[in-house]
Amino acid sequence: MGLGYEAAESMDHGRKRHDEQINKLEAIRLALIKALDTRWKDIIVENHDKEIIESLKKRKGIHGKFEILTEDILELSLLFQNCSPCVLRVKIV
């Protein structure tokens, strides 16, 4: 069984990459919260954005604005038996 949250892409062509990354980080955070609500203990977080995956593995925000979201995700990941930066992987699309 799986649970998925996807960051919506904007139709605004002037949208900056960091806004898309914020949406992706929010989607990961929301998925972790939902997984906690359903009492899952083992999860795998998949995302195709290598920069996001690397920032979570390094336990460091991509840019200053992302540090709070990254910290939230890492704190939430500690509440699972098996959810750590080492199991985060890049999803092949």
Residue 10 within a domain: no
Residue 8 within a domain: no
34 to 2, 4, 27, 37, 79: CA distances (angstroms): 11, 10, 11, 5, 12
Residue 4 within a domain: no
Residue 50 within a domain: yes
Residue 32 within a domain: yes
pTM, whole model, 2 decimals? 0.70
Residue 41 within a domain: yes
Number of structural domains found in the chain: 1
Residue 52 within a domain: yes
Q: Residue 70 corresponds to which amino acid?
A: T
- Residue 34's pLDDT band (cuts 50, 70, 90): very high
pLDDT digits (tens, 9 = 90+) for 49-73: 778 877 777 777 666 667 888 889 8
Q: Which domain holds residue 66?
A: 17-90
Residue 11 within a domain: no
